[in-house]
Amino acid sequence: MRVSTGRSLKKPPPQTLTLEPRPLVSTPPEKGAILLVEDAVEEILLMRTLIEQAGPYQVISAQDSNKGLELLLGGSEWDLALIDLSLPGTDGIELIQKGRERFSELPMMAVTGSTNKLMIDGAIRAGADYVLNKPVDRDKLLRKIREFVKVEGTDADPAAASTSDVTPVEAAAAARIPTIVAVGVQPGDVEMGCGGVLFRHRAEGHRVIILNLAGGGDADSDLAAAAAQAAEVLGARMTNIGDGGTPDPEGASSLLQSVFADFGPGMLYVPSAAAQSHGSVESNRLALAAAEAVPNVLAYQSPSATLDFVPHLFVDVASFLARKSEMLKYYDALGLPNVSVEIAATTARYWGRFKDPEHVEPLEVIRRGGAQPGENIADAPPDRLVYPSFLTPPYAPALGGAFSRVMEATLGPIAEVGFRA
């Protein structure tokens, strides 16, 4: 089974999501001072939580290379620097090189979602002591930190880090990072069907993970390269397996179960079962079978959707359509069926006839809050329907129901969304 993961080499300008760096105020001698240079807020929160809950460490973060360089060279005594290689502005390799020129003995670890060997080799040549791949492996991260950072109260044995009881789910919960998972057959499906919605999630600071179950698994293919660029624009993690167009049940189920167990997503997007492609139907089936613990499940219009696709929910994506187009342009040259910038804009306008403003993405509601697993929300008793606060007339049916705290925590204040009457 071929697997491709990672991000591309060039990163777009950072979005509006920022964290104010916590000041390094005379770090106590019993705590190790760790500089983390990473532009993705959810990655900062996740790694900070993992590290600080694992031992006597203080993590100070910067979201761009300029601030990172200022902190690195600014006179503070660091015990370790963790530097993402794909940063806006000056890249991480140059930052590592400048740090090494000043501090010959400072341990520095590079962090990257790229599988590009030239990039990884470049980080080592620049002075990185170790390169850690994304998604970050908790045990490996903590093991290397204990190896590099010697402070009182930590076990000198690097293997001791593996005994930490902080799981990725617990770390994400502690950092309050909602996780969203979107499943597709091959790269381009998710971006085309619900790319605008995923940009809304990212604007709220949510972690987005895309799993393609039957395409892009060859890391050297043009499709995998386009997928990496698209994921970079969105700021999402992406894993691609297979190349046959139809998911391998065993491999796909294993991937889905692993991600659901590790990240505990609050929202799942799947391709609609109303599709001509057997791959879309099978991806829908496999995802739903593994998602019994996911409280909210929505289905998007896949590139092979049929006239049986009947959406209940329309999400305003007008303000994110340009970003969606920027993401989809990487697929235009590949000639994928019904995946293009032009079709995306036309489709958004087509479904926009049901609401104002005019550009929306349609979604089928499979499970939302109070509805039971496998139960269509339209058939659920009204007292078990739990609506989020952003449903607005005239699209919401008069069924009542409490506001969903689960949905509010997962989606945040996404407005102008409703059920079609």
Provide the residue ranges of all domains of the chain, joining segments of one domain with +: 10-172, 178-419
Rounded to whole angstroms, what are the CA distances from 259 to 121, 123, 135, 228, 374?
29, 28, 11, 19, 20
Q: What is the pLDDT of residues 318-351, one digit of tens each?
A: 888 999 999 999 999 898 988 999 999 999 999 8
Q: What is the pLDDT of residues 196-247, one digit of tens each?
A: 989 888 877 778 899 999 999 888 899 999 998 898 888 888 999 988 789 9
Q: Token pair of 375, please?
A: 């139960």
* Yes or no: domain 10-172 corresponds to CATH 3.90.550.10: no
Percent of the chain with pLDDT over 70: 73
pLDDT for the residue numbered 16 = 34
pLDDT for the residue numbered 383 = 32
Give CA–CA dist 251/364, Å, rounded. 26
Separation of CA 112 from chain center: 14
- Asked whether the domain spanning 178-419 has the same topology as the one spanning 10-172, the reply is yes
The mean pLDDT value for 25-31 works out to 53
Question: What pLDDT band is residue 88 in, cutting at 50, 70 and 90?
Answer: confident
| Matching CATH number, 178-419, of 2.130.10.10, 3.30.70.2740, 3.30.70.20, 3.40.50.10320 | 3.40.50.10320
Give CA–CA dist 225/204, Å, rounded. 27
Phi, psi at residue 182, to the nearest 5°?
-125, 130
Question: What pLDDT band is residue 369 in, cutting at 50, 70 and 90?
Answer: low
pLDDT at 5 over 50: no
pLDDT for the residue numbered 26 = 42
Rounded to whole angstroms, what are the CA distances from 398 to 232, 303, 370, 395?
41, 32, 16, 9
Give CA–CA dist 317/335, Å, rounded. 24
